[in-house]
Amino acid sequence: MSAIAGPIHPTAIVDASAQLHPSVEVGAYSVIGANVQIGEGTVIGAHAVLKGPMRIGKHNRIYSFTAVGEVSQDKTARSDDATSVEIGDGNTIREFVTIQRGTLKDTGVTRIGDDNWIMNYVHIAHDCVIGSHGVFANQSTLAGHVTIEDHVVLGGGTLIAQHIRLGAHCFTAGGAGVTRDVPPFFIVQGNPAGPRGINIEGIRRRGFSAEDLTDIKHAYRILFLSDVPAAEARIELAELAKTSMQVRRISEFVESSKRLIQK
């Protein structure tokens, strides 16, 4: 990498310490701040603002009017804190998205994986950890310290409280207010969000077997449709997990959760 890349619009401002691969494109009036690293093939639209320390991987598309790497809105955060943003490869980040740096209260890093589709006006707050292959629809809002695993879909206007976890392949309906952890494969809806079934379409699209689907349905019935107390349901789920890899993922998530969604 070098501090000077190829197709940078003459009105863009790129700090001398920024490291851009020669193939990076930067649109008109964008600002690339100090200690920003951008990998091969990434395209930055017009009027975007990227502030370091930050590392962005390869082949991302960051559209106009995004603000990435700004200091957190946490009242304790300071602009000179040793915190950062890390973004992987192949992400699409649409107009007016805001992604903020970590804080010293946590790891200090806000992380985003690969191949995520992040739509207009999404807000990703400090210390969030985002997996890969997610879809975050317009105006989804993540508070601080949220963890989202792979292949998660957030419906438009989803609101996620701080310190919440969303398991892989889960789905939130539009306008959901998520205040408790959501296990893998499940759908939540409402405000506050509650369980509304399993993500059948997502499971089928991603190549899971019919047997996997049956097992996941069984796990959902144990947790949310049976009349047994929660402690007994967890024991029954753990027994089913002995013969099903996918149920094991659900069971391990449930056991580690401190605030699981309720029936």
Residues noted as catalytic: 126-127, 144
**What is the spatial distance between Cα 40 and Cα 56, in angstroms, rounded to a whole number?**
9
**What is the spatial distance between Cα 120 and Cα 144, in angstroms, rounded to a whole number?**
19
Contacts of 44 (CB under 8 A, 6+ apart): 24, 25, 26, 27, 30, 32, 38, 50, 62
What is the DSSP track for 11-39? T-EE-TT-EE-TT-EE-TT-EE-TTEEE-
**What is the spatial distance between Cα 233 and Cα 19, in angstroms, rounded to a whole number?**
53
Q: What tokens does 164 get? A: 């919440």
Amino acid at 191: N
Buried-exposed string 65-76: b where 16+ CB fall within 10 A, e elsewhere: bbbbbbbbebee
Report the run of H or E that residue 200 belongs to, with start and end. Answer: helix 200-205
**What is the spatial distance between Cα 60 and Cα 68, in angstroms, rounded to a whole number?**
13
